[in-house]
Structure 1
Amino acid sequence: MTTVRTCPACSDRAATGDVFCEGCGRPLPEGAGGAPVEHTDNVTTAPQQSMSEAARGGPGTPGGNGARNGDGARPGLVPPDGGPTAPQVSLHGATAGPGDGRVPPETRTPPRGAAPSGGPPASGSPEADAGRADSLITQSLRRDSVTPRPEAAAPPVPDWPPPAVGSNPVQPTNPEMCVWCPGRVGDGYCEKCGFLQPTGRDHVEVRTGAAVGVSDRGLRHRRNEDAMAIRVVAADDPRSPGTVCAVVCDGVSSSPRSDEASRVTAETGATVLAEQIRRGADPREATGVAMTRAAEAVAGIAESLDSAPACTFVSAVVDPATGTVTVGWVGDSRAYWLSGGPGSSASALLTRDDSWSEAMVQMGALSRDEAMRSANAHALIAWMGADSGEIDAHISTVTPTGPGTVLLCSDGLWNYYPEAHSLTDAVPKAGTRPHEAARTYVGLALRAGGKDNITAVLIPVPTEQGGSRAEQD
């Protein structure tokens, strides 16, 4: 039984160790009343699909021995160099720290967003413990405390609510005024009510000829802490014409300025990816360089290790000439392959979460259902930020067969549709109308509750004959 508290501002649930509300960002008073409940996760995540299982055609795998709807066997997506979950590139302390710029493992900041964990300590080097979860999951977990800014003497506040700007009903003409109460704003927070302020990113859509993305703040958050960036190499480029580079980042709510962290990381990652590809770099090499630069960029905006903005990261490089898909990730933002038809590779999850629940499952300590029912289920064991210490970036390359779509998304979407086949069934043939599909995915998440920020980036993948599925239909 886990004792939870209720936020007095938005009635969202908060666990015993929480010091602020993830729903609205307001600091939680000590001793707030609550009642014991069985668990704090209202959405049970179904088992993730293993790419290795997809390749073997095992039971429960679309197109395998347990094929759904009689589709028959379909090729899997296991890369020639092994599964997609093994760390490939170490960021080696790229984030800022005292002294030599690296944070020693013994002083590394514990995972974000969870209550204390009492698991046995891990042992051995990463090489010796390959196949086991990151040893960070055995360390004490904490949330960074948020101390409200003290009230300062100020001129009388004008009448509230203030007039709005244009068609935006909440953005005031005076940026120093809170949009939720007659208080003053400092560093993005109201000094009176403590609420986060809108940033102009509540709903964003990016549309190119080769990829589209839609991001929305959802129904429970006061601002959008997700970010996305898309870069497409020119069609006349001599090295990699038409290659698509995309990044999705999800700000860690327990860190300050998490919306800024995701924006800086996404823009840096996508820009460096495209630059490396134009210079002729291999997609895997380009992904490693982009992730290192992105980690350095987000670390650079931290005022201190105790006040470090942080976010997750997932990227994709899609080469239209070969049809290969290279993904890189840190955290729990995901990449999926969505099958375009019976002759295509089966839909599959291309990433593995850097989360407490996934670590428990990989270690065999808990079943997936048990891990996802825990209050620590979504606690991160790796992220990008100045307080992340040395982390390993995961990189994987797959070559799907037939037409399909790569989906990059934050947990605001996959919390409601965790399995690859459920995403495929929810929006059939997403690659034929990617912009409409991206908006549909966001709409489905909103109708399902919209508890978190939601971001979906769709990249149609060429067929063997060349050209996207949309162009051929």
Structure 2
Amino acid sequence: MTKVRTCPACSDRVAVGDAFCEGCGRPLPEDVGAVPAGHPDSVPTAPQASMSGAAPPDGPAPDASRGGTRPDLVPGEGAPTAPQVSLNAVSDERPGLVPTEGAPTAPQVSLAAPLATRSDPPAPPAGPGLCVWCPGRVGDGYCEKCGLLQPTGRDHVEVRTHAAVGVSDRGLRHKRNEDAMAIRVIDADAPHAPGVVCAVVCDGVSSSPRSDEASRVSAETGVAVLAERVRGGADPREATGAAMTRAAEAVAGIADSAGSAPACTFVSAVVDPATGTVTVGWVGDSRAYWLSGGPSSSASALLTKDDSWSEAMVQMGTLSREEAMRSANAHALIAWMGADSGEIDAHISTVTPTGPGAVVLCSDGLWNYYPGAQDLTDAVPEAGARPRDAARAYVSLALRAGGKDNITVVVVPVPPGGSRAGHD
């Protein structure tokens, strides 16, 4: 029998792992929001068998008429290191994941006035060592009176370059931000790959220890290796493979033991303005999207395939996507980065979109609410035109939809020449 968890203050129902009540906003006692042992949200100690050989379920052929005359997004030369769905058909034909609470209405957002974000905590107290939430004193990052974790520099982070923008937020119901992101842009006068954008987003696995450290180490290591290899003249696919290997080693290296291993997901993009190619690599369920910038551009498309139980069930034809997403196991990972992951099954794919648009990397804190590529495109049209406002708008939309997880979004406009990434 499943225990129903309710907030002791207002009796509103709360989900496993919540730190705060969505109804009244009060902090939840540890025994209410804690993830019990054996819960489906906990990560298995070893990855399941590779699902790369699973055949997709039979279904009707894609309706080409839905794509009109728009160019399709076709993978570049060289097969991905793991099979993925064909991008020859527009992404509209791929069923979108639907949140168990029903799909949002996905309102459009005007970039002229970005949405308000989560209200910030009270101003820091005048005295050192005092809680920002109450008059209590702080020890080891927590208030000794109210028990709340004190805000850190990662609660809300924005990274802005002239060619890409990222925003990361703790969300409304978690005590800390376990997501991380990193962006590097190769100098315009570099002998190799001038102007190439390298970006990484990682999502810490909450049921593992020090997951925030895992995501930070993975993102920083991954983007450093990506930029170093690409700047040195390496092919983006080779650079992506090396970056993922080094990132996985770095995460495994911070584990105290195989039984106490920090873990995270990983998704990266190498966007080359000279060739127009986009090379993505991933492990886990953080995602990369191509978002169309207009009718002459390639149709919006999801560029990655989740390493999750639900995706595996869909690919094997065992469950429909809707049935899989209704399961308590929907978000259980079958691959991740960590000392307990075994040999990682790194996925790498290259596509060459046509026309203007944007590459978006994000954690599931966003795509849980806007799973389809067209959902994201409709919610914030022409994201590549004003990437800073677009990244902020996506985070705000996720917060308005519930903010049940950490939210991280990186927007890379294509082409970069008209991106106005530094626009205020």
Deviation at 1:402, TM superposition (A): 1.4
Report the secondary structure of 2:348's partner residue: strand
Identical aligned residues as a percent: 72
Structure 2 residue corresponding to 1:280, chosen from 223, 233, 253: 233
Aligned to 2:321: 368
Q: Is residue 25–residue 195 contact of structure 1 (8 Å, CA) maintained in 2?
A: no
What is the aligned partner in structure 1 of residue 205 from structure 2?
252
Structure of greater Rg: 1
The equivalent of 2:104 in structure 1 is none
**Distance across 1 between alignment mates of 2:81 and 2:131:** 45
Q: CA deviation at 1:197?
A: 3.9
Counterparts of 1:409 and 1:251, CA distance in 2: 13
Shift of 1:183: 6.6
- Aligned-residue CA RMSD in angstroms? 3.3
Determine whether 1:28 maps to 2:28: no
Q: 1:323 to 1:199 in 2, by over 3 A?
A: same
Q: Distance in 1 between matches of 2:155 and 2:34?
A: 33
Residue 450 of structure 1: how far off its partner (Å): 1.1
Q: 1:261 to 1:192 in 2, by over 3 A?
A: farther
Closer, same or farther: CA 177–248 of 1 in aligned 2, 3 Å: same
Q: How many residues align?
A: 358
| Counterpart code for 2:289 | Y
1:405-452 Cα deviation digits (max 9, x unpaired): 100001111111100011111111111111111111111111111111
3-state SS of paired residue (2:213): helix
Q: Does 1:356 align with 2:306?
A: no
The answer as to 2:246 corresponding to 1:293 is yes
Shift of 1:454: 0.9
Is the 8 Å Cα contact of residues 84 and 397 (structure 1) preserved in structure 2?
no
What TM-score, normalized to structure 1?
0.68
Match of 2:269, SS state, is strand
Contact 2:171–2:404 (CA under 8 A) maintained in structure 1: yes
User: Contact 1:21 / 1:28 at 8 angstroms: preserved in 2?
Assistant: no
Distance across 2 between alignment mates of 1:12 and 1:202: 25
- What SS is found at the alignment partner of 1:392? coil
Which residue of structure 1 lines up, in the alignment, with residue 417 of structure 2? 467
Over 3 Å counting, the alpha-carbon distance change for 1:2 and 1:342 in structure 2 is: farther
The AA in structure 2 aligned to 1:359 is: A
Cα 1:75–1:390 change in 2 (3 A) is: same
| 1: CA distance, partners of 2:253 / 2:380 | 39
In the alignment, the residues of structure 2 paired with residue 233 and residue 331 of structure 1 have an alpha-carbon distance, to the nearest angstrom, of 27
Q: Where does 1:370-385 land on structure 2 (aligned, <5 Å)?
A: 370-385=323-338
Q: CA deviation at 1:359?
A: 1.0
Question: Which structure's relative contact order is higher, taking Cα pairs within 8 Å and 6+ residues apart?
Answer: 2
Query: 1:386: how far off?
Result: 1.6
User: Gapped runs of 5+ residues in structure 1?
Assistant: 33-38, 41-51, 88-166
The secondary structure found in structure 1 opposite 2:159 is strand
1:66 is the counterpart of 2:66? yes
Q: Is the 8 A contact 2:174 2:406 kept in 1?
A: yes
How far apart, in 2, do the equivalents of 1:201 and 1:289 lie? 27
Map 1:100-249 onto structure 2 (within 5 A).
169=122, 171=124, 182=136, 185-186=139-140, 188=141, 195-249=148-202
Aligned 1:38-77 pairs, distance under 5 A: 58-59=62-63, 64-67=64-67, 71-77=68-74
1:5 corresponds to? 5
Counterparts in 2 of 1:270 and 1:21: CA distance versus 1, 3 Å: same
Q: Which residue of 2 aligns with 1:454?
A: 407
Report whether the alignment pairs 1:316 with 2:263.
no
CA shift, 1:469, in A, is 5.7
Per-residue CA deviation, residues 311-345 of structure 1 (Å, 9 max, x unaligned), is: 11100001111010000011111000001111111
| Alpha carbons of structure 1 residues 469 and 231: separation in structure 2 relative to 1, 3 Å | closer
How big is the shift at 1:253? Answer: 1.0
How far off its partner does 1:296 sit?
A: 1.3
The one-letter code matched in structure 1 to 2:417 is: G
Contact 1:309 1:385 in 2 (8 A): yes
